[in-house]
Chain A
Amino acid sequence: MVGGAIAFFIYACSVCAAMMKYKLSALVCSLALMSIWCATAFGLWLLWLR
């Protein structure tokens, strides 16, 4: 859950930056950037928790 929460922080920051800077649609941003959550969460899991 720690890894997932860190990934969620990075995901939320990325969505915030993308929406504020490029004014992209919330649906596109929040779904497209889920790949960032997956990469971070499972990257942390592989490096730290596995």
Chain B
Amino acid sequence: MKIHADFSALRRTKWYEYVIRFVFGGIITALTGMIAKKFGPEVGGVFLAFPAIFPATATLLEKHEKEKKQRRGWNGTKRGRLAAGVDAAGAAMGAVGLVVFAMLVWKKLPGHSGSTVLAAATLAWVMVAMAIWAGVEKIRQLQRQRGAAKSIHRPQAQ
């Protein structure tokens, strides 16, 4: 799959859809700060990886994909749900990167400069998430090729 940026999606997104994401993200960030202040950073830290924006993003993605299909005269419900499912798969890949990010910050922050550790951890997050995505894409490509080869070599029914 070729990676490309679809800027038309920005035009399709309505202002209140951005507001929903910012509000959810903002509320959870504020709550995390309050929890960390009351119960300590270990408990507050757990909420740094809370799926605050994911439900709003997945729901809006499902809606957009559904509308796109409906404009062409199809139902689009199944397509919308599949797109949101793929979004969740991407979130899982990002989550592995987030584990690496958190481990690096946890282990390296006490002895090094904060900005250096955060920059290195962010870079590690990008590299891990992209490497997993590339690996999954390679496996899917091989599966497609194997499937195509099987269908070519399958004996024809008499």
| Chain A residues engaging chain B, CB cutoff 8 angstroms | 1-9, 11-13, 15-16, 19-20, 23-27, 29-31, 34, 37, 41-42, 45, 49-50
Query: Closest CB-CB distance, A47 to chain B, in whole Å?
Result: 13
Question: Cα distance A24–B96 when bound, in Å?
Answer: 25
Residues A24 and B81 in contact, CB atoms below 8 Å apart: yes
Question: How many chain B residues touch the partner (CB < 8 A)?
Answer: 37
Question: Cα distance A1–B96 when bound, in Å?
Answer: 12
Contact partner of A31 (CB less than 8 A), chosen from B55, B86, B98, B102, is B55
Question: Cα distance A9–B99 when bound, in Å?
Answer: 9
Some 24 contacts from A to B, beta carbons below 8 A apart, are A1-B45, A1-B105, A2-B102, A3-B45, A3-B49, A4-B48, A5-B99, A6-B95, A12-B94, A16-B85, A16-B91, A20-B82, A23-B77, A23-B81, A23-B82, A26-B80, A26-B81, A27-B55, A29-B84, A30-B55, A30-B88, A37-B51, A45-B46, A50-B42
Closest residue on chain A to residue B95 by CB atoms: A9
The 9 closest A-B pairs by CB, nearest first: A4-B49, A19-B85, A9-B95, A16-B88, A30-B55, A12-B92, A26-B84, A1-B102, A12-B91
Question: Contacts of B46 on A, CB cut-off 8 Å?
Answer: 1, 3-4, 7, 41-42, 45
Question: Contacts of B55 on A, CB cut-off 8 Å?
Answer: 26-27, 30-31, 34
Tell me, yes or no, whether B22 is within 8 Å of chain A by CB.
no
Question: Cα distance A37–B77 when bound, in Å?
Answer: 26
Question: Contacts of B96 on A, CB cut-off 8 Å?
Answer: 9
Query: Closest CB-CB distance, B23 to chain A, in whole Å?
Result: 16
Residues B92 and A45 in contact, CB atoms below 8 Å apart: no
Question: Cα distance A3–B99 when bound, in Å?
Answer: 8
Tell me, yes or no, whether B43 is within 8 Å of chain A by CB.
yes
